[in-house]
Amino acid sequence: MTVRLLVTDLDNTAWDWVEAWYHPFVAMMGRVAAITGVPHTELYRSAQIVFRRHGTSEYAFVLEEMPCLLEHYGGVVHLDELRPAIEAYRETRERVLVLYPGVVETLATLREAGCQIVAYTESLSYYARTRVFRTGLAPLLDRLYSPPDHDLPDHRERYDSAYDDRAAASLDRRETPEGQLKPSTKILQGILDDFGVSPQETVYVGDSLMKDIHMAQSVGVHDVHASYGCRHDDDAYELLRRVTHWTDEDMERQQRIRSMGAVRPTYVAAGGFSDVLDVIEEVSGQGARAPGW
């Protein structure tokens, strides 16, 4: 059996999302605290209000909506004064948002062998495609599936001047229906239909046992657990939990998924993304690096 399609999760599968979220956020809030004198606890509490309002913990325009900053500035946040904080965010992000080792080489090898590559993420489209371009992943993807954006302020270029809409247009993208979340199988099944491949011809890789692996097994594709991307509790995760946009309803949903029982992956990529090649070699029954498998 030939593997014709690789579907990959992105956050903590292609790059370390927690690191890429944490360091820029902390750098930005540190500067905001220094400039305004508003304590960190109050800033974090305010940030969570905004994140919940927009349903994402990476809302890029958080500063101008934070209640404690609106109060500090008397109604309109002075972004010019906070520019060093926005710069700190950008500079830090440039440093920490990088692909895991082996991602580029692995995907390039697969493409050369005729395997199509699809990314399927639950990160909102704007953030997903920005990361896909910033990391250099875009040219290696045949398509990106991600949920539709929330309403973005039309002055986003103030924050993200390097972001290029024309580049984004070169990426084949599909928006996933709102409210359809992993481990629901509808979207993954739809991806297989879009590409005209069977589950046996498809490999799925992702870091979440409860979402990625459970979903992949339900559809019957070959599942690979990106265990190298799993985060253990640490300062970064703790802060994320503290300011997260997750609502009580989201937490209950997580609980429900957990109660479905232990999920055992069929294959484990412990060493890194390139372990996917070994899996494909195994399920193909011949050398993945040999031409024409």
Contacting residues toward Mg ion, per CB under 5 A: 9, 11-12, 207
- How many CA atoms lie within 13 Å of 283's alpha carbon, on the beta-carbon side? 22
Cβ proximity to Mg ion: between 9 and 201 the closer is: 9
Q: Report in angstroms how near the CB of residue 104 gets to Mg ion at its nearest.
A: 18
Q: Report in angstroms how near the CB of residue 100 gets to Mg ion at its nearest.
A: 12
Cβ proximity to Mg ion: between 88 and 226 the closer is: 226
- Does residue 17 contact residue 11 with C-beta atoms inside 8 Å? yes
Question: What DSSP string runs through 222-244?
Answer: EEEE-GGGPPPS-HHHHHHHHH-
**Residues 6 or more apart from 171 whose CB is under 8 A from it?**
129, 132, 133, 138, 141, 144
Cβ proximity to Mg ion: between 11 and 223 the closer is: 11
Report which of 5, 16, 7 is spatially closest to residue 240, judged by C-alpha positions: 16
Cβ proximity to Mg ion: between 9 and 65 the closer is: 9
Q: Report in angstroms how near the CB of residue 248 gets to Mg ion at its nearest.
A: 22
SS3 145: strand
Report the sign of the C-alpha dihedral through residues 258, 261, 267, 269, in that order. positive
Could you tell me where the DSSP H helices lie in the chain?
A: 17-36, 40-54, 67-72, 83-96, 103-112, 125-134, 165-169, 186-195, 214-219, 235-243, 248-258, 275-284
Q: Report in angstroms how near the CB of residue 107 gets to Mg ion at its nearest.
A: 17
Please tell me the distance from the alpha carbon of residue 275 to that of residue 281, in angstroms, as a whole number: 10
Q: Report in angstroms how near the CB of residue 131 gets to Mg ion at its nearest.
A: 12
Position with the least CB separation from Mg ion: 11
Cβ proximity to Mg ion: between 66 and 205 the closer is: 205
**Residues 6 or more apart from 173 whose CB is under 8 A from it?**
125, 129, 143, 144, 145, 146
Cβ proximity to Mg ion: between 12 and 125 the closer is: 12
Cβ proximity to Mg ion: between 11 and 65 the closer is: 11
Cβ proximity to Mg ion: between 31 and 214 the closer is: 214
Which residues, in sequence order, are bridge partners of residue 268? 225
Q: Report in angstroms how near the CB of residue 226 gets to Mg ion at its nearest.
A: 8
Q: Report in angstroms how near the CB of residue 55 gets to Mg ion at its nearest.
A: 17
The letter for the amino acid at 98 is V
Map tokens 């995907």 to a residue.
Answer: 107
Q: Report in angstroms how near the CB of residue 271 gets to Mg ion at its nearest.
A: 18
